Structure 1
Amino acid sequence: MQDTIFAYPADPVCPDYFAKLKTKNMRHPRIILALLVFTCTMAFAQTGEEYLEKEFVSQGDTLKYRILYPDDYTSDREYPVVLFLHGAGERGHDNRSQLTHGSALFLKDSIRAQFPAIVIFPQCPKADYWANAKVKRGRTPLKIKFRYGRKPTRPLGLVMALMDSMVQTPSVKQEQVYVMGLSMGGMGTFELLYRKPDMFAAAIPICGGGKAASVKNYAVKLPLWIFHGAKDNVVDPLLSVHMVERLLKEGANPKFTLYENANHNSWDPAFAEPDLLPWLFSKTKKN
């Protein structure tokens, strides 16, 4: 069982709840409800048959990615699109490792039947990063400085070009384009929202973070469900807290779930949330 020590907006809010979250070791705030959720570990899809291997070429650069089409896919019908950005541990050139976390979620028969969608898993090369960030690895949690004032990294630029191309295809429902990401991919998710504020209908950043001031580009028009583990010793949970703080300041109403006992792998309980995909697919640009 995984404890949720903070679930905004389900829990009551008081003026100092973020201050209490910022206490040493992210100790349990007494005022916040406890919510129990089940955990599960999503198994890596070993067959690779469902996710087709693809390459996207733009201005001489190549982005490897996998794509999952709905059962009974037809090109004359429109489908939602989910972009999923993996973490740093899945970087490489094999066009496979990026499926380690999250891919099995979309292969469940019940999910495929209830939410037919096109799902895209690009792969970031080993020496690159989704977000434009300076990462100091000599300490834990990592010290990260986000540099949105610079151009996007080469991999993120390729993802942006891929998505620009994808949303123009007749089979894409432009009102339902979503982005999810974990760890490095959670950081990439926040940066994508900053750089493409009008592309996505909703976003789910998990154990990530970003430049808090950037949320003004999308705060009031784009629903977010943000996840983090309170014991994360890789990516500081305060990075997510700061994003939520700024979103609230800008008038947004994000969902935020903080797991009391989760370390960096907060994606496991996040993927086990029964409302995760129903929430995501309920969001459109119209609503």
Structure 2
Amino acid sequence: MPSLSRGTYPFRWPFVIVAILLATVWILRTQSAPLGFSVQSYGHWINESVHYILFLPYSKRENEKLPVILFLNGYGENGTDGVKQLSNNFGQQIWELRGRFPFIVVAPQMSHDSSWAQPDSYIAQSAIEIVQ
């Protein structure tokens, strides 16, 4: 009977490593934006990209025109990670409507050093261009 000592089963470690890598990828995918959401970036013509979340309803058909909600985050959600802007104040009532009233959401994220009250901000300008 073979011994269970090290080296007896030389092909075991590659399988363990592959299993760990697959589990890591699965965990990272489940920690990203919720289903129906995708993190996008815009504004490559400037020094920085604007990160935003795009929500497309599952029932959207090609060439179907739907209303667009432009969600502007509060100051506490400013940043550059592209997902924090939906962490607070996103209107539970609005999300409850998505099954009965399909819509598209564009949620750009304002940078740490700016605000939506500054209309000349490149992020505010980019938000308008994204929706168009």
TM-score by length of structure 1 reads 0.32
Q: Which residue of 1 aligns with 2:86?
A: 99
For structure 2, the 5+ residue unaligned runs are: 1-30
Alignment counterpart, residue 40 of structure 2, candidates 54, 63, 68: 54
Following the alignment from structure 1 to structure 2, what is the Cα–Cα distance between the partners of residues 76 and 68?
Answer: 16
Higher relative contact order (CA 8 A, sep 6+): 2
Are residue 122 (structure 1) and residue 108 (structure 2) matched? yes
- Give RMSD over aligned pairs: 2.1
Any residues of structure 2 matched to 1:194-209 within 5 Å, and which? none
User: What CA deviation, in whole Å up to 9, does each residue of 1:35-83 have, x standing for no partner?
Assistant: xxxxxxxxxxx86223211111252241100011112222221111000
Any residues of structure 2 matched to 1:27-176 within 5 Å, and which? 48-50=33-35, 51-60=37-46, 61-100=48-87, 101-102=89-90, 104-108=92-96, 111-132=97-118, 152-164=120-132
SS at match of 1:79: coil
1:123 corresponds to which letter in structure 2? Q
Contact 1:58 1:158 in 2 (8 A): no
SS at match of 2:53: strand
SS at match of 1:85: coil
Any residues of structure 2 matched to 1:266-285 within 5 Å, and which? none
Contact 1:98 1:122 in 2 (8 A): yes
User: What CA deviation, in whole Å up to 9, does each residue of 1:87-143 have, x standing for no partner?
Assistant: 1110001111100221644443xx1222100011110111111112xxxxxxxxxxx
Structure 1 residues 115 and 53: alpha-carbon distance in aligned structure 2, compared to 1, 3 A threshold: same
SS at match of 2:98: helix
Following the alignment from structure 2 to structure 1, what is the Cα–Cα distance between the partners of residues 110 and 125?
Answer: 11
Q: Percent identity?
A: 24
Query: By percentage of residues, which structure has more strand?
Result: 1
Structure 1 residues 47 and 104: alpha-carbon distance in aligned structure 2, compared to 1, 3 A threshold: farther
1:156 corresponds to which letter in structure 2? A
Following the alignment from structure 2 to structure 1, what is the Cα–Cα distance between the partners of residues 120 and 51?
Answer: 18
> Cα offset for 1:86?
0.8
User: What CA deviation, in whole Å up to 9, does each residue of 1:148-180 have, x standing for no partner?
Assistant: xxx61121111122122xxxxxxxxxxxxxxxx
Contact 2:38 2:53 in 1 (8 A): yes
For structure 1, the 5+ residue unaligned runs are: 1-45, 133-150, 165-287
Structure 1 residues 64 and 57: alpha-carbon distance in aligned structure 2, compared to 1, 3 A threshold: same
Following the alignment from structure 2 to structure 1, what is the Cα–Cα distance between the partners of residues 91 and 51?
Answer: 16
Bigger Rg over Cα: 2
